[in-house]
Amino acid sequence: MTPPAGHTVLWHSLFTMTSPSSHTDILAPSPGTLLNIVTQFAADLGTMTDLTTIGNRIIKELCEAGGTTHGALFLLDREHECYRRASMVGPVAPALVPPTLAMDHPLPRHLLATNRIMTQGNAPADLQDTDSEVGARAAMESMQALRIVPHINKGRLIAFSLLGAAQPIPEENSPTRFLLAALAQTATNALDTIVLYEDLHRSHLLMKRTDRLKSLETIAGGFAHEIRNPLTSIKTFIQLAPERKDDPQFIQEFSKVVLDDVYRIERLIQEILDYARYMEPKLTEEDFNDIVASCLYFIDVKADSHGIKIEKELASDLPRVMLDRQQIKQVLLNLFLNAMDSMARAGGRLRVRTYKLVKPGGSIWVNIEIEDTGEGIQETNIEHIFDPFFTTKHESGEHEGTGLGLTIVHQIIQEHHGEIRVKSSIGVGTTFFVSLPALPA
């Protein structure tokens, strides 16, 4: 939806007809107009989900209401204790507007202390001559701002809008101030919601990353085992090279083997780095069996040492899938590690089967079944296993669980538009079923 065009003009013409000193007179002509502008603004912000769009809309609306033409929105970055320039609209001179402003800079301090819109012209009347006031005015001047609107929520300055214009702005009358304040408050509410939402999103990412780093321990075990062979061959070559340096056949053949081994180690290191590093989800067309095999490979050593036999049955006719390779690895590793934990005490069998499934509607899915012969899940616990922090692995067990593994598995599968189910019986074992939509042939 677009904002009502030219509402400032209408607003000003309505109010210049009335006496600015009479509050009743000022509001009398158009409470409806005011309400419309603010309601429309609130409704528009409600449909927006990303910070830049919201920031741009806020600056535009505040400019239109107060006769300025351009500006920037600064948003609180709690982590780095500063205000960060989040969006700029119109002909702002970026050199004048810094990308960040420290939280204890006089400008934000002054805005928070007064909770008032600062306007270039009203300095003398407002001047309290405090340090922060003087500093704030100086900053305002150096940034060529004509107006600064604070956005304060629950006693916290969550953002401020810096507004400017090439021409002097019209002197502020009460209705303009009133409108600006109403719009500022609406903007504050929207910003607060989006910041909360982004915080939540960040915690999710952090959770995923923590979980991923946890399974790195297992991967590192597999890695150490895996590079032993190539390292041995490299070492042998180096030891033999001095005495066989004149044997061209030896040098030629062995250096090829050694080079392949070095490439193999490089590939493994890259896989581990990709896995550990957080990256934005990246969907690529993948061979699902290939990912399953690479995860099984990493848990092989651990399984062996716990007397767990791995059986794999990977379908040869599996269609390709669009997925985030590292995230799906995280899913599989979590499921494999849970299965192994359940068999850690008595050993057992981990059976991993992939197959293609055509659903009644004709859609094609790639499925994986992960079946263990472990201790099983209590019936009363089944409905909680995907809950954050639900764990039965307390310190007494092999390791202390965080209870985040399956929460993350569930989240990743959902993001891939897949499904996950579980079947378990005590003393017999547990099977997890995961389905992912396949790419059309």
Ligand X SMILES: Nc1ncnc2c1ncn2[C@@H]1O[C@H](COP(=O)(O)OP(=O)(O)OP(=O)(O)O)[C@@H](O)[C@H]1O
Contacting positions for ligand X (CB under 6 A): 334, 338-339, 342, 372, 374-377, 381, 385, 390-393, 401-407, 430
The interface partner of residue 392, options being ligand X, Mg ion, none and the CB cut-off 5 to 8 Å by kind, is: ligand X
Question: What is the rounded distance in angstroms from the CA atom of residue 195 to the CA atom of residue 84?
Answer: 13
The interface partner of residue 385, options being Mg ion, ligand X, none and the CB cut-off 5 to 8 Å by kind, is: ligand X
**Which x/- pattern over 319-358 shows residues binding Mg ion (rule: CB under 5 A)?**
-------------------x--------------------
Give whichever of 69 and 411 is closer to ligand X, judged by the CB atom. 411
Q: How far is the CB of 302 from ligand X (least distance, A)?
A: 13
Q: How far is the CB of 394 from ligand X (least distance, A)?
A: 9
Task: Identify any residues that bridge with 422 across adjacent strands, giving them in sequence order.
Answer: 432
> What one-character-per-residue DSSP string does 372-419 give?
E-S----HHHHTTTTSTT--S--TTSSS---S-HHHHHHHHHHHTT-E
Q: How far is the CB of 374 from ligand X (least distance, A)?
A: 5
Structural tokens at position 113: 């202390």
Q: How far is the CB of 325 from ligand X (least distance, A)?
A: 21
The interface partner of residue 320, options being ligand X, Mg ion, none and the CB cut-off 5 to 8 Å by kind, is: none
Give the nearest residue (CB) to Mg ion: 405
Give whichever of 67 and 429 is closer to ligand X, judged by the CB atom. 429
The interface partner of residue 404, options being ligand X, Mg ion, none and the CB cut-off 5 to 8 Å by kind, is: ligand X
Nearest alpha carbon to residue 176 among 309, 374, 338, 20: 20
Give whichever of 223 and 432 is closer to ligand X, judged by the CB atom. 432
The interface partner of residue 342, options being Mg ion, ligand X, none and the CB cut-off 5 to 8 Å by kind, is: ligand X
HSE on the CB side for 358, CA within 13 Å? 4
Give whichever of 288 and 336 is closer to Mg ion, judged by the CB atom. 336
The interface partner of residue 173, options being Mg ion, ligand X, none and the CB cut-off 5 to 8 Å by kind, is: none
Give whichever of 56 and 430 is closer to Mg ion, judged by the CB atom. 430
Angle at 277 between CA 261 and CA 291, to 5 degrees: 60
DSSP-derived 3-state class of residue 354: strand
**Which x/- pattern over 397-416 shows residues binding Mg ion (rule: CB under 5 A)?**
--------x-----------
Sheet strand arrangement including 348-358: 308-314, 348-358, 364-372, 429-437, 419-425
Helices and strands (H, E) in the chain, number of each type: 13, 13
Report how many residues bind Mg ion under the rule CB under 5 A: 2
Task: Answer yes or no: are the C-beta atoms of 402 and 392 closer than 8 Å.
Answer: no
Q: How far is the CB of 379 from ligand X (least distance, A)?
A: 12
Give whichever of 209 and 320 is closer to Mg ion, judged by the CB atom. 209
Give whichever of 22 and 414 is closer to ligand X, judged by the CB atom. 414
Q: Report helix angle 51-66 to 31-47, nearest 10.
A: 160
Q: How far is the CB of 400 from ligand X (least distance, A)?
A: 8
> What one-character-per-residue DSSP string does 126-178 give?
H----HHHHHHHHHHHHTT-SEEEEEEETTEEEEEEEEE-SSPPPPP-HHHHH
Question: What is the rounded distance in angstroms from the CA atom of residue 122 to the CA atom of residue 126?
Answer: 6
The one-letter code for the residue type at 403 is: G
- Phi then psi for residue 147, to 5 deg, are -150, 145
Q: How far is the CB of 337 from Mg ion (least distance, A)?
A: 6
- Summarize as ranges the residues that interact with Mg ion (CB under 5 A): 338, 405
